Amino acid sequence: MRLHRNLVFATIDSLQLIFNEKKQADKVLKNTLKRDKRWGSRDRGFIAETTYDIVRWKRLYAKIADVKEPFKRDDLFRLFAVWATLRGIKLPDWNYFEGTPTRRIKGKFDELSAIRKYRESIPDWLDKTGEKELGNQWDKEIHSLNELAPVVLRVNTLKTSVKEVQNKLSELEIETKQLKNHPDALLLKERTNVFTTQLFKDGWFEVQDASSQRVARFLNPKSGMRVVDACAGAGGKTLHIASLMENKGQIIALDIYKNKLKELKRRAKRNGAHNIEPRVIESSKTIKKLFEKADKVLIDAPCSGLGILKRNPDAKWKLQPEFLTKIKQTQQELLQSYSRMVKPNGQLVYATCSILPSENNEQVKKFLTSEKGKDFSLLKEETILPSTSGFDGFYMALLQKK
């Protein structure tokens, strides 16, 4: 593989923004990839994948390269040199790479691979938390969370069928396969930019991880019901609920962020989903108006996001122990408050994209023993582990109101 100067420089510039200016990796890359119109899909793929790789393995590479944050520009080139050497890529004769100790890099890599926090490239506190909560299972999970996330589509059954989308994509030379136990899903056999296809623009599918697709089905909404998606965000799961309800009934999509609901509106239009009503949570009154009015309520709670590190590798560097403590408080508050929207005989699903019991079943147990939770009982719960599913980590609990 020959390294091209402009692609390497674009990668270094992206890393500078992500590491030193603490910008979000996906947003940085979105801007970087627009920089040169002449770049083809392979060029853009190189920049994105290399940047994500170095972000994912930051701690390990920094230790091997013997550099510390904040990284100087020369330090970023050293990280890049470690990345290239470990992949067997010959470094070009540029000043930046002069005197790169290739053999020492490989030796150091072997030595550090025996220590989990370096091998899996994670902060000390996170390694301790994972081990404390998951015991021996933590080894498998953190290893799996460092693998590249597969690209999964969710077919929009309001407009089309899985088979039809599969055939149409095949005509575009995009090969997919159907997934067992995921009726609406198609897995891409090779990574490609599906957002440029007319099928996506026409609302025939969304990109949504297989585990995330399990949540709406776990809620099991029916046509004609009134459903509240209490933390709707930009509406990935809301749109899935709309298709399962065949556009019949009402979905009230709540969120505290107006801009996210605006994005949901745009996506709903593209998807042909007409039964969604976005509402900004401006105060506790928004929730009060809905007390005992919903057949089903989904609380897709804000969480550590540990289950989705495959696709957000920069999150492990931004996550802090105090955030984890704070978010657990928020999760319990949401359960206490939003559960009041469920009608007698109605149902509630509490879900997170975390694999930590303290954010998941322990929160549900705590809620069920509280004053507000005494009218609810647990029907079933499911933990999706990345190591066994190959997809994101998720937790879901279905609660029945008396």
User: Are the beta carbons of 273 and 206 closer than 8 angstroms?
Assistant: no
User: Which letter, b or e, does each residue of 276-308 get, where b requires 16 or more Cβ atoms within 10 Å of its Cβ?
Assistant: bebbebeeeeebeebeebbbbbbbbbbbbbbbb
In the numeric block, which tokens belong to residue 136?
């021996």
For 14, how many CA atoms within 13 A lie in the half-sphere containing its CB?
31
Task: Tell me which residue has tokens 């559960």.
Answer: 339
User: Are the beta carbons of 305 and 312 closer than 8 angstroms?
Assistant: yes
User: Are the beta carbons of 241 and 221 closer than 8 angstroms?
Assistant: yes
Helix (H) or strand (E) run with residue 119 in it: helix 116-119
AA letter at 298: L
User: Are the beta carbons of 210 and 182 closer than 8 angstroms?
Assistant: yes
Q: How far apart are CA 221 and CA 297, in angstroms?
A: 10
Q: How far apart are CA 119 and CA 60, in angstroms?
A: 7
Which residues participate in catalysis according to the annotation?
353
Task: Order the strands of the 152-155 sheet from edge to edge.
Answer: 176-179, 182-188, 152-155, 205-207
| Overall size of the chain counted in residues | 402
- The DSSP string of 336-365 is HHHGGGEEEEEEEEEEES---GGGTHHHHH
349 - beta bridge partners?
A: 298, 398
Q: What residues contact 242, with CB distance under 8 A and at least 6 apart?
A: 158, 251, 268, 271, 273, 275, 276
Q: What residues contact 175, with CB distance under 8 A and at least 6 apart?
A: 169, 188, 189, 190
Distances from the Cα of 321 to the Cα of 296, 325, 352, 378, angstroms = 33, 7, 18, 29
